[in-house]
């Protein structure tokens, strides 16, 4: 049974909510076009951290290395697309100190510092680099692999097994209820990310539909049943390779009962008294903001 009861609605995209979404000025490609200028942006990773330019250290606005060649020796390189017509390369290096004027930073550390369009391409780059780093050997016979399908995949030199980047789908759901006192949002604080209240989330299991995952995870984590499931939108989340698929839903029945070991706390928060919310880079924040905007279009949370 299809448990999406209502038609798909458009995902509102306020201008401040670009986050990690690839901009429309970016074209995803795996092979550089023949007429593209040599070089371009270099998204270089060392142990999961990105090389960025800095004149006086963060939080001065950092940037990404540009030029015909990478600014330090790299062990591999992969083309990932064009940003405003400029080639974007990702590469990795090992145990090399950054050259003068550069530092290595985590992607999360670059939130609100690196321009959004560069941060989004860096998110794609991080997943590409991580895929090639962790699939040098075949998962079937352990022989060496090589690039395949124009760089999208890796193929085993011995047995021919082909592997594409792994993407882990996860559902996110914001449960709401409208009472005589206004709208309330169900926000939870997970045991693994205990610093902030957010929408519920969980990974899709083998052969499970995303819709069934929403119903299962919601009941497991907070003990309630939901209805009126509506698709909101999706977003890649490169920590390390998730695809967040977000919904809204209405409370149908049940009182909150937090799952031990998974959920530290969960509460119904009135829109007029919300806790600290997730960063604007997450689809959770866009989901929460959209639910607030329906009932309180001038709410201060929408301006952050």
Residues that bind Zn ion (CB under 5 A): 138, 140-141, 143, 156, 158-159, 161
Judged by beta carbon, residue 156 or residue 283, the one nearer Zn ion is 156
Identify which of 225, 226, 245, 227 has the alpha carbon closest to the alpha carbon of residue 235.
Answer: 245
Judged by beta carbon, residue 138 or residue 287, the one nearer Zn ion is 138
**At its nearest, how many Å lie between Zn ion and the CB of residue 111?**
39
Would you give the end-to-end CA distance of the chain in angstroms?
39
Judged by beta carbon, residue 159 or residue 168, the one nearer Zn ion is 159
**At its nearest, how many Å lie between Zn ion and the CB of residue 148?**
12
**At its nearest, how many Å lie between Zn ion and the CB of residue 161?**
5
Judged by beta carbon, residue 140 or residue 227, the one nearer Zn ion is 140
Structure tokens at 125: 């780059």
**At its nearest, how many Å lie between Zn ion and the CB of residue 138?**
3
CA angle 207, 208, 214 (to 5 degrees): 165
User: Which residue has 């009126």 as its token pair?
Assistant: 228
Judged by beta carbon, residue 37 or residue 158, the one nearer Zn ion is 158
**At its nearest, how many Å lie between Zn ion and the CB of residue 241?**
22
């Amino acid at each position: 049974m299809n448990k999406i009861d209502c038609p798909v609605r458009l995902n509102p995209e306020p201008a401040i909510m670009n986050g990690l979404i690839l901009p429309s000025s970016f074209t995803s490609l795996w092979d550089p076009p023949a007429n593209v200028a040599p070089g371009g942006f270099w998204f270089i990773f060392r142990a999961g951290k990105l090389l960025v330019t800095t004149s006086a250290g963060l939080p001065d606005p950092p940037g990404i290395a540009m030029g015909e060649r990478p600014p330090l020796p790299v062990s591999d390189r992969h083309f990932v697309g064009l940003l405003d017509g400029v080639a974007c390369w990702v590469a990795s290096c090992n145990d090399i100190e950054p050259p003068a004027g550069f530092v290595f930073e985590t992607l999360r550390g670059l939130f609100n510092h690196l321009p959004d369009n560069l941060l989004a391409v860096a998110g794609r780059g991080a997943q590409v680099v991580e895929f090639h780093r962790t699939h040098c050997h075949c998962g079937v016979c352990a022989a060496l692999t090589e690039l395949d399908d124009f760089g999208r995949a890796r193929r085993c030199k011995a047995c021919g097994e082909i592997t594409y980047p792994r993407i882990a789908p996860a559902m996110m759901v914001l449960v709401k209820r409208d009472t005589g006192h206004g709208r309330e949002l169900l926000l939870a604080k997970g045991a693994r990310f205990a610093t902030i209240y957010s929408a519920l989330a969980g990974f899709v299991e083998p052969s499970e539909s995303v819709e069934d995952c929403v119903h299962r995870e919601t009941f497991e984590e907070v003990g309630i049943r939901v209805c009126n499931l509506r698709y909101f939108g999706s977003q890649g989340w490169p920590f390390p390779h998730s695809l967040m698929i977000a919904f809204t839903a209405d409370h149908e029945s049940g009182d909150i009962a937090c799952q031990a070991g998974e959920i530290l706390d969960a509460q119904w928060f009135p829109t007029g008294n919300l806790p600290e919310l997730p960063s604007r880079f997450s689809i959770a924040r866009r989901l929460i903001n959209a639910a607030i905007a329906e009932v309180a279009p001038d709410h201060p949370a929408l301006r952050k």
